Structure 1
Amino acid sequence: MVKQALYLENLKVGDTFISETYQLSADKIKSFAREFDPQVFHCDENLAEDTFFKGLAASGWHTAAITMKLVTESLPFAHGIIGAGGEITWPQPTRSNDVLYVKSTIKEIKPSKSKPNQALVIVECETLNQRDEVCQILTAKLLSFKKD
């Protein structure tokens, strides 16, 4: 189902968008890690037991990539999700067999002084697991444009 594109004039502080879910697995965690973040706590269940994480954990960048997928599917900004910076934290590890979803809430809208047809929209994207535990918080600065 294609969602209606949202323009700047459609957005307001407090708007919340909930994504579909994404099922993680040990194989997905290890495959991503082998290519992008090859550390033992992301690549080997046995060696991961003796690390800070006390078991296999997804790379934070893997969680971020999943978040991006879910945000692009659930936050239908006209012209796409165009980032202009942000801050990311990982309050707890993402684990194999977690089922993730993203709750995105508009926190602030800052109209551009030099470009009246656009604004920076500050969106807090919480990536939660099946127990509603927060695995990642992304506070993103996104561009949004007026329809005209």
Structure 2
Amino acid sequence: MRYYEDIEVGKTYEFGEYHVTKEEILEFAEQYDPQPFHTDEAAAEDSAFGELVASGWHTAAMCMRMLVDGPMQDRAGMGARGVDELRWNRPVRPGDTLSIRTEVVDKRVSESDPERGYVDSRLEGVTQDGDVVISWIGLGMIARRNPGDD
């Protein structure tokens, strides 16, 4: 198990592999983001995208799944305080394969609860071609191994 003390600012990670299908794009969009360029292939052809594309929220959810299946499994995570600077840089299309790059950009002990630390990480979702499709700064919380040892 990795704790706050084990996290290094500047450390980078690359992980995950998520294959995006047309069926999944349609299913997610029908339920959560029913805009025509996410739900209708013919309408999507006439859109600014020129073809069916995934919802940005779907892209975020796919990245979250890779985080949970990847580095979050061995961390003493305590949830998150939110995200900053969320950007949808490029559309995700059926057939894309996504992966994740992260970099720890800051960490500090909580002033209100010495048992927890705050770890901020820049995340990029990347296609098989190296194109960044989504980015954000995750504001994580992680347990401290020895909170009284300051």
What TM-score, normalized by structure 2, do the two folds share? 0.90
Answer whether contact 1:72 1:81 (CA < 8 A) is retained.
Answer: no
Residues 86-97 of structure 1: pairs in structure 2 closer than 5 A:
86-87=83-84, 88-97=86-95
Following TM superposition, by how much is the alpha carbon of 1:80 offset from its aligned partner in structure 2, in angstroms?
Answer: 3.3
Identity %: 31
Following TM superposition, by how much is the alpha carbon of 1:105 offset from its aligned partner in structure 2, in angstroms?
Answer: 1.1
Q: Match for 2:132: what amino acid?
A: V
The answer to whether residue 44 in structure 2 is matched with residue 48 in structure 1 is yes
State the SS of the aligned residue for 1:82: strand
Answer whether contact 1:72 1:80 (CA < 8 A) is retained.
Answer: no
Following TM superposition, by how much is the alpha carbon of 1:16 offset from its aligned partner in structure 2, in angstroms?
Answer: 1.7
Instruction: Provide the C-alpha distance between the structure 1 equivalents of 2:53 and 2:23, rounded to a whole number of angstroms.
Output: 11
Following TM superposition, by how much is the alpha carbon of 1:110 offset from its aligned partner in structure 2, in angstroms?
Answer: 2.2
Q: Match for 2:44: what amino acid?
A: A
Instruction: Provide the C-alpha distance between the structure 2 equivalents of 1:81 and 1:128, rounded to a whole number of angstroms.
Output: 26
Look up the match of 1:67.
Answer: 63
Following TM superposition, by how much is the alpha carbon of 1:72 offset from its aligned partner in structure 2, in angstroms?
Answer: 1.3
> Can you give the 5+ residue segments of structure 1 that lack an aligned partner in the other structure?
none
Look up the match of 1:6.
Answer: 2
Q: CA RMSD in A?
A: 1.4
Look up the match of 2:79.
Answer: 82
Aligned residues: 144
Following TM superposition, by how much is the alpha carbon of 1:41 offset from its aligned partner in structure 2, in angstroms?
Answer: 0.3
Higher share of residues assigned strand: 2
What TM-score, normalized by structure 1, do the two folds share? 0.91
Q: Match for 2:77: what amino acid?
A: G
State the SS of the aligned residue for 1:19: strand
State the SS of the aligned residue for 1:120: strand
Look up the match of 2:103.
Answer: 105
> Can you give the 5+ residue segments of structure 2 that lack an aligned partner in the other structure?
none
Instruction: Provide the C-alpha distance between the structure 2 equivalents of 1:22 and 1:44, rounded to a whole number of angstroms.
Output: 23
